Amino acid sequence: MSRDVVVAKRYAKALFDIAQQQQVVAEVEDQLKLIVQAITSDSDVQKFLALPSVDAARKSELLRSVFADRVSYIVLNTLELLLANGRQNVVSDVYGAYVKIAGEALGQARATVYTAQALSEEELGNVAAQFSGLTGKKITAEQVVEPALLGGIQVRIGDRLYDGSLAGKLDRLQKSLNKRAL
């Protein structure tokens, strides 16, 4: 595990603890997502935040002017702390770690559902319900259309991949046949 990921987890855990005390866990997650999207979608902002010649106070000033009325003070303070410690490069990792920590604490998980063709909202809801029963967590599913799957479905929840795709079944069949041939 890289050092940045470890650092990001520490910041995320501290932010989660504060958000949980103030009962704003979901709001903080949404605010972090907004910040990550804003930063990653603009290469000029990324370059500005990465410049070592610009002091942390100016970087904080920029972020405050952009996000002051859109995010809570605990999120802004976390961002400023990241900037002050030269950790602006881990903002996305903090968001990812926060989502994971919050999900585990609240019995929730995010699933990415890969299919060859788009599913209806009802079908996606059924997949989420099926995996909620399997994992014992409330699953929030998002869909990714992946034509290379040919058919079937793959579901990624955290580090686990549930592969019910046609390509996956064919691959497992091939491995099985190869074992028998030896």
Q: What is the pLDDT of residues 77-92, one digit of tens each?
A: 999 999 888 888 889 9
Q: Assign 144 a pLDDT band (cuts: 50, 70, 90).
A: very high
61 Cβ neighbours under 8 A, 6+ residues apart: none
Residue 139 φ/ψ, nearest 5 degrees: -100, 130
**Mean pLDDT for the stretch of residues 148-172:** 85
**Alpha carbon distances (Å) from 59 to 45, 49, 51:** 10, 6, 10
Alpha-carbon 112 to chain mean position? 10
The domains found in the chain, sorted by start residue, are 3-103 (1.10.520.20), 109-181 (no CATH)
Of 95, 75, 71, the residue nearest 18 (C-alpha): 75
Give this prediction's pTM.
0.69
pLDDT surpasses 70 at 1: no
Average pLDDT of the chain to the nearest whole number: 88
> What per-residue string of b and e applies to 134-170 under the rule 16 or more CB within 10 Å gives b?
ebebebebebeebeebeebbbbebeeeebbebebbee
Q: What is the mean pLDDT of residues 100-105?
A: 86
**Position 182 pLDDT exceeds 80:** no
Per-residue pLDDT band for 42 (boundaries 50, 70, 90) equals confident
Output the pLDDT for position 65.
86
Share of the chain above pLDDT 90, in %: 38
20 CA to centre of own chain: 19
